[in-house]
Amino acid sequence: MPRLGDDIDDYCSRCKLPTDHSVVSALGEEVLKTRCRTCGFEHNYRHNKGGKGQMTNQQAFDQVLASVMGSASQPLPKAAKGKKKKKPAGG
Give the tens place of pLDDT for each residue, 27-77.
988 999 999 999 999 999 988 887 666 667 787 788 888 888 875 554 545
User: Can you give the pLDDT at residue 16?
Assistant: 84
Predicted TM-score of the model (pTM): 0.54
Q: What is the dihedral of CA 81, 82, 88, 91, to 10 degrees?
A: -50
User: Can you give the pLDDT at residue 78?
Assistant: 56
User: Can you give the pLDDT at residue 59?
Assistant: 78
Strand partners for 80: none
Report how far residue 85's alpha carbon sits from residue 66's, in angstroms, rounded to the nearest whole number.
Answer: 36
Q: Tell which residue, 29, 31, 60, has the closest CA to residue 46.
A: 31
The yes-or-no verdict on residue 13 having pLDDT over 90 is no
